[in-house]
Structures are given as structure tokens and as C-alpha cells.
């Protein structure tokens, strides 16, 4: 299937346009980039009327449910630092959001976390039934690789490398699916700090780490720069999860768009249950600082990534 | 994760070694190629002890459950005709078996066909639980793209094309997932001949068509040859499904390794219910002849593919 663009795409704006006297306007940056990502996603996905329509409706229902687009924004922000070609960067970034969405749909299934609500809306299986939700997840994962395989490039070796990075991050060992397996295996059992970190490095961390790495790879970062970006991604990925656990304790259900306090109610190990609210806050702040130090050491214009690290730990949803 | 080869691989043998005075010994050909495929699959998959072990055990349980390896054998047989490099051909062929296996695991789930038995063994969710079966399917699909991304090649453009072919065949429109969606949508409803063909062109046909196409693409077939191969794949794919429906009517459960007559019992539309046993037999024979005519027209040494077409309609399991 060839994906034709039916609408004009939001023009990409560079980093510098979001710099103000007091630094980067990160809210405006996210607003602009997520609009750009949404327009690309719309074009990269089969249409709602394409046969069989129901599966495309289910895929789009979850993909356009109001996610923050953190992973593609991270990929784009990192790619921009290294001058990546936007026409390669954005589809690759979008493929990460497809994979993230598939993982949420499958995690929410009755056989897994059995969640009815996600981002304030009925989950995919509640809306479309269990069979269609399983297939919509499968199809989003597959569409991510259709997207990666089909974007135009003058550098097929780089594209092969990007596909490899993403496939590994979505796989089992120290990766997305493996993290969900560990999460299931540890449910209701006492978990140590290192075990909790192992779960989240895989379940949440691998795709965030991958996002910044593919941005750097598409932009042609050198090995030392790629190392710095990788450390940033690993720290930011863990900080994201610690902040998530803090939000689950301190935010309201309305702010979260899902049931707050669910982890505590189900006696699931979290950073707050292990270290307390203050301990978790300190940890998130430390990880944020370490991420910023790592990326700033590249000597590039990294203010957007620095602000994203702060946003990750300070957000309210 | 890097996949290292721990054991020596069965040496690939060429077409000509299976030619006898009376033609190709297709049984020996399948026996040799499936041993070769099994050894490669073993090396391309994470080990049973790699963490988290349970997911790798579930993936391997279904992958090594005794499948015929029809899709990878078709890819290899076609690639050999055009002189494809075995080190590119075999991993690409193996990725098709991973995708085929994932689709079987998900199709067997309680929310889908709810099958307890597959190839004479408990299905993945019966053995490992529903959550792990969903994740094992996800992981096999992902591992297929890890495999494709990581095989060594001097021709990254060809590899990108192979990844695109496979991703599209596994996707929704006229493809694997879309076929399963149509199958679910038509359940219990009257189905016409063209509708049944639409279901099976997608559900079974897309991956078989893709198998022969990637063999031809890796082998550098010219456009006319690729067209001939594509027609062969489409005819053989439909013939396979017609033969499957015939087997469901005429073979025993022991021969099939699953409950015989299940489609008839569940009033599912099949080629035999639409055209009768004799009508379906005629159809399978006609499709087989058309497949052979198409591939023979290339003027290449196509006797193995011709025998595979015959095997597809004459098999007893």
C-alpha cells in the first residue's frame, strides 16, 4: 500500500525559532512538533475507509487518543541538533509512536493489565473488542516497519541501521516486550531497587533511548556524540518512569486521564513505594541533571533536549 | 542483541542435487531445506536461557512445533533459481516463518479462534497462558524485523526492498492481518466465492506470494521474471488454501494434528462448502497447473517450484 499525502504538512521549524530571551519555550515546541507528527502520522497510516475499515479505525482510535508524542519529539529534537534531514527524521520518529501505541493497546488487554481507561477514553479492547484490539496492536507494530521500509533516502545503510535500532528496542532482551514480561513476572512479589530499574530500563527506557539514538544516527552524529546522546536517553527514560510513579501518587485521575493511585492499590512496586515521595523526587531530579550534563558535553546547541529533560520530571500528566 | 551462531550450519545444497531420473525428489528437498531452516532459526532466535527466559521458551515452543516451513522453503527455492546469495536468502526466508508462527499464535487465542490444539500440541496460550502467548506473538513479529535488519549484505537497497515487501505482506490491506479481520467479520455469515477468495488472498496468500517474491528480488530477477514469480505465488497461495479446506473434510485429526472437520462444524465458509469436494479438487488442480505454467514461462530451471506446487495440492497434512 502506498501512503499518499492528502493534506499539506505543517512546515518543520528549527530549534532556533523556539528560543526566547529566557531560553526555550518548550510548551510551544511540543505544540508545534506534535502537530507536525500528527499530520505525518495521518498520512503514514492507512485511511479509516481503507478495507478492512474496522482495523484502521481501531488503529487510529488509539494512535490519535491525545498522547504527548514524547518519543517522536525526542527523536526529532535530537536529530535537529545534528542537522538530520527532516524527511527521514519525521517518518522514523513516527514509527516509534506506532510502536509505543501498540504496546499500550496490548498492555491494556484483559489478559495483561486489564485497563478500561487510557488518556480519559475507553481502551481499544473496550471500544472495539478484544480480537480487534489484539490485531490493531499487531497492525501498528507492522505499520511501523512499513513506514521505516518505505521512507525515501539516499543513505540505505543508515536506514538499515535505524531499522535495526528500532527492532532491537521493541524486542525482548533489555527491550520493550521483555520489560512487560518482567513486569508481569514481578507482579505481587517483593521487588528491589535494581529489579525495578531492570523492568523500567526495558519497558519504558529502551524506546526512549532508541528515540534519541535514531535522531543522532540519522543526523550523522560521531561515536562520542552518540554515546552522550545514549546516556541522555537512558537517564531521561528512567526519570520519565520515576516521574510517572510520582504522578500516580500525587496527581488526580482527571489530570492523568486514568485511575490515579492504581499502582499503590494493586500493591505494585514503584519508585515511590520503594523510596517514598521525597526519595523519588530526589531521584528524578538527579537523573534529570545527569541527562542534561551528558548532552551538554557534546558542545552542540542542546537547549531543547535540556528543557525536555526538565519537562519530563515536572509535567502534571 | 547480537545472534551468534553456536553450531555448524547444515551446508546448503543446490537444486541440481535433488534431481533424479524421474524429476525432483521433493520429499528429500523439503527434508534438507527444513533442517537447514531449523538450524538457522535456532541461531537467529534468542536462547531459551536469555532473560527473560519464559518469553523465549514460548517463542521457541511455537516456532519449533513441527511446521512444514513452506514459506521459507518457497523463498529459498525461488531464490536458488535466480542464483541468490544463501547468506541473504536464508535469514530473510526465516523471518517469514517467524511472522507465520506469530500469526498462528494470535489466531489461536481465546479472543480469536480459541483453538487448544495446533500440530498435535497444546497451543501457545494453553501451554504458557494468554498474556505470554500475546507477547510471544508480538516478539516473533519483532524478531522477524531484527533478523531482516541485521543480516549482512553488500546491497542495502535490496535489503530495504525485502523489508518493505515483508512488512506490507504482514500488514492490513490485502495482507496477513487484514485477512484475519475479514475472516472474523464473515464468521457465521453467508460468503460468496469472490469474498472467500478475498479473505484467503490476504490471510494465507499474501505471505506465500511474498515468499517467492523476496527470493526472486534477492536473486536479482528482472521485472518480467518477478511478474511470473508473483503469478506463481498467487496461484500457489490460493491452491494451498483450497487444499487445506479439502484436508479439513477428508483427512483425520491424527493426520492434521488438529481437530478435523472443525470448519464444517462451525458452519465456516470453505471452498468445499461452496463448491463441493469435487469442485474444490478441480479448483486446486487448475490453480496448480496455472502456477506451473507461469513459472515455467521464465525459461529457468524451475522443476523444484513445479514440484512444490504439486506437493501443495497433494499433501495429506
B56 and A172 within 8 Å at the Cβ level: the answer is yes
Average pLDDT of the segment spanning A198-210: 97
Cell numbers linked to B49 = 536461557
What pTM was estimated for this model as a whole?
A: 0.94
Which residues of chain A does B171 touch, with a Cβ-Cβ cutoff of 8 Å? 1, 46, 139, 142-143, 146
∠ at Cα B166 (B87, A56), nearest 5°?
160
B106 and A135 within 8 Å at the Cβ level: the answer is yes
- At residue B122, what are phi and psi to the nearest 5 degrees? -55, 140
DSSP string computed for A125-150: HHHH-HHHHHHHHHHHHHHHHHHHHH
The reported pLDDT for the residue numbered A6 is: 45
Rounded Cα gap, residues A303 and B25, in angstroms = 67
Which residues of chain A does B164 touch, with a Cβ-Cβ cutoff of 8 Å? 146, 149-150
Q: Is B52 exposed, middle or buried (0-12, 13-18, 19+ CB in 10 A)?
A: buried
Cell numbers linked to B172 = 492490513
Distance from CA of A152 to the nearest CA of B (A): 10
The reported pLDDT for the residue numbered B30 is: 96
The reported pLDDT for the residue numbered B11 is: 63
Question: From A51, which residue of chain B is nearest by alpha-carbon distance?
Answer: B173
Grid look-up 526566547 returns A20
B163 CB within 8 Å of a chain A CB: yes
Are the beta carbons of B205 and B164 closer than 8 angstroms? no
Residue closest to A99 by CA, chosen among A53, A59, A50, A40: A59
Distance from CA of A115 to the nearest CA of B (A): 14
Q: Is residue A154 scored above 70 in pLDDT?
A: yes
∠ at Cα A270 (A267, A275), nearest 5°?
115
pLDDT band at A7 (very low <50, low <70, confident <90, very high): very low
Radius of gyration of chain A (CA): 19
Rounded Cα gap, residues B241 and B282, in angstroms = 13
B185 and A52 within 8 Å at the Cβ level: the answer is yes
What ipTM is given for this predicted complex?
0.94
Q: A168-193 pLDDT, tens per residue?
A: 999 999 999 999 999 999 988 999 99
A132 CB within 8 Å of a chain B CB: yes
A171 and B142 within 8 Å at the Cβ level: the answer is yes
B146 and A171 within 8 Å at the Cβ level: the answer is yes
Residue closest to A169 by CA, chosen among A198, A196, A208, A140: A208
In DSSP terms, A260 is beta-bridged to: none
Residue closest to A201 by CA, chosen among A229, A180, A217: A180
A117 CB within 8 Å of a chain B CB: no
B131 CB within 8 Å of a chain A CB: yes
Question: From A132, which residue of chain B is nearest by alpha-carbon distance?
Answer: B181
Q: How many CA atoms lie within 13 A of B145 on its CB side?
A: 35
Grid look-up 511455537 returns B62
Rounded Cα gap, residues A177 and A309, in angstroms = 25
Are the beta carbons of B145 and B154 closer than 8 angstroms? no
Chain B contact probe: residue of A53, A111, A153 with most B CBs at under 10 A: A111
**Number of C-beta neighbours around residue B193 at 10 A:** 12
3-state secondary structure at position A23: strand
The reported pLDDT for the residue numbered B17 is: 72
Are the beta carbons of B207 and B72 closer than 8 angstroms? no
Which residues of chain B does A145 touch, with a Cβ-Cβ cutoff of 8 Å? 145, 163, 167
Q: B263-280 pLDDT, tens per residue?
A: 766 778 899 999 999 999
Domains of chain B: 23-314 (1.10.600.10)
Which residues of chain A does B156 touch, with a Cβ-Cβ cutoff of 8 Å? 156-157, 159-160
Q: Is residue A254 scored above 60 in pLDDT?
A: yes
Cell numbers linked to A124 = 481499544
Tell me, letter by letter, the H, E, C secondary structure of chain B: CCCCCCCCCCCCCCHHHHEECCEECHHHHHHHHHHHHHHHHHHHCCCCCCCCHHHHHHHHHHHCCCCCCHHHHHHHHHHHHCCCCHHHHHHHHHHHHHHHHHHHHHHHCCCCCCCCEECCEECHHHHHCHHHHHHHHHHHHHHHHHHHHHCCCCCHHHHHHHHHHHHHHHCCCCCHHHHHHHHHHHCCCCCCHHHHHHHHHHHHHHHHHHHHHHHHHHCCCCHHHHHHHHHHHHHHHHHHHHHHHHHHHHCCHHHHCCCCCHHHHCCCCCHHHHHHHHHHHHHHHHHHHHHHHHHHCCCCCCHHHHHHHHHHHHCCC
The size of chain A, in residues, is 317
Cell numbers linked to A268 = 505494585
**Between the CA of residue B95 and those of B37, B90, B91, what are the distances in Å?**
10, 9, 6
Grid look-up 484467503 returns B200
- At residue B23, what are phi and psi to the nearest 5 degrees? 120, -155
Which residue ranges in chain B fall short of pLDDT 70? 1-16, 19, 21-22, 253, 258-261, 264-265
The reported pLDDT for the residue numbered A2 is: 40
Cell numbers linked to B77 = 527455492
The reported pLDDT for the residue numbered B196 is: 96
Distance from CA of B208 to the nearest CA of A (A): 17
Q: A261-299 pLDDT, tens per residue?
A: 677 667 788 999 999 999 999 999 999 999 999 999 999
Question: From B47, which residue of chain A is nearest by alpha-carbon distance?
Answer: A173
B171 and A109 within 8 Å at the Cβ level: the answer is no
Give the end-to-end CA distance of chain B in Å, rounded to a whole number. Answer: 36
Cell numbers linked to B176 = 496477513
Range 142-161 of B in CB contact (< 8 A) with A = 142-143, 145-146, 148-150, 156-157, 159-160
3-state secondary structure at position A72: helix
Of B55, B130, B142, which is closest to A141 when you measure between CB atoms?
B142
A172 CB within 8 Å of a chain B CB: yes
A141 CB within 8 Å of a chain B CB: yes
Cell numbers linked to B294 = 507461469
B145 and A143 within 8 Å at the Cβ level: the answer is no
- CB pairs A-B closer than 8 Å: 155
3-state secondary structure at position A301: coil
Average pLDDT of the segment spanning A23-39: 94
Range 220-279 of A in CB contact (< 8 A) with B = none
The reported pLDDT for the residue numbered B3 is: 42
H-run or E-run covering A24: strand A23-24
The reported pLDDT for the residue numbered B251 is: 78
Under 8 Å CB-to-CB from B11, ≥6 apart: which residues? none
Distance from CA of A163 to the nearest CA of B (A): 6
Q: A99-131 pLDDT, tens per residue?
A: 999 999 999 999 999 999 998 999 999 999 999
Cell numbers linked to B182 = 475479514
B194 CB within 8 Å of a chain A CB: no
B201 CB within 8 Å of a chain A CB: no
Range 1-20 of B in CB contact (< 8 A) with A = 1
Choose between A6 and B150: higher pLDDT.
Answer: B150
Cell numbers linked to B69 = 516451513
Rounded Cα gap, residues A154 and A87, in angstroms = 11
Distance from CA of B102 to the nearest CA of A (A): 10
In DSSP terms, B121 is beta-bridged to: B118
B205 CB within 8 Å of a chain A CB: no
Amino acid at each position: 500500500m502506498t501512503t499518499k499525502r492528502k493534506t499539506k504538512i505543517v512546515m518543520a521549524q528549527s530549534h532556533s525559532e523556539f528560543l526566547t530571551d529566557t531560553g526555550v519555550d518548550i510548551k510551544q515546541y511540543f505544540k508545534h512538533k506534535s502537530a507536525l507528527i500528527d499530520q505525518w502520522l495521518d498520512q503514514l497510516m492507512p485511511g479509516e475507509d481503507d478495507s478492512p475499515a474496522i482495523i484502521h479505525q481501531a488503529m487510529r482510535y488509539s494512535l490519535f487518543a491525545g498522547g504527548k508524542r514524547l518519543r517522536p519529539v525526542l527523536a526529532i529534537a535530537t536529530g535537529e541538533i545534528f542537522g538530520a534531514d527532516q524527511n527521514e527524521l519525521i517518518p522514523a520518529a513516527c514509527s516509534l509512536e506506532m510502536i509505543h501505541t501498540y504496546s499500550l493497546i496490548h498492555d491494556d488487554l484483559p489478559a495483561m493489565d486489564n485497563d478500561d481507561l487510557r488518556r480519559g477514553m475507553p481502551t481499544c479492547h473496550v471500544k472495539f473488542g478484544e480480537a480487534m484490539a489484539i490485531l490493531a496492536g499487531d497492525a501498528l507494530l507492522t505499520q511501523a516497519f512499513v513506514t521505516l521500509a518505505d521512507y525515501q533516502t539516499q543513505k540505505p545503510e543508515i536506514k538499515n541501521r535505524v531499522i535495526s535500532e528500532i527492532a532491537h528496542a521493541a524486542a525482548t532482551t533489555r527491550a520493550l516486550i521483555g520489560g512487560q514480561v518482567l513486569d508481569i513476572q514481578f507482579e505481587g512479589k517483593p521487588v528491589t531497587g535494581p529489579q525495578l530499574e531492570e523492568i523500567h530500563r526495558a519497558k519504558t527506557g529502551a524506546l526512549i533511548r532508541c528515540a534519541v539514538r535514531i535522531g543522532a544516527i540519522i543526523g550523522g552524529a560521531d561515536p562520542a556524540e552518540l554515546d552522550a546522546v545514549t546516556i541522555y536517553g537512558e537517564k531521561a527514560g528512567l526519570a520519565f518512569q520515576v516521574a510517572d510513579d510520582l504522578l500516580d501518587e500525587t496527581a488526580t485521575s482527571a489530570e492523568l486521564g486514568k485511575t490515579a493511585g492504581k499502582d499503590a492499590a494493586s500493591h505494585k512496586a514503584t519508585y515511590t513505594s520503594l523510596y517514598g515521595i521525597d526519595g523519588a523526587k530526589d531521584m528524578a531530579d538527579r537523573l534529570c541533571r545527569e541527562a542534561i550534563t551528558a548532552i551538554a558535553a557534546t558542545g552542540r546547541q542542546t537547549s531543547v533536549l535540556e528543557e525536555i529533560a526538565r519537562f519530563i520530571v515536572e509535567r502534571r500528566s
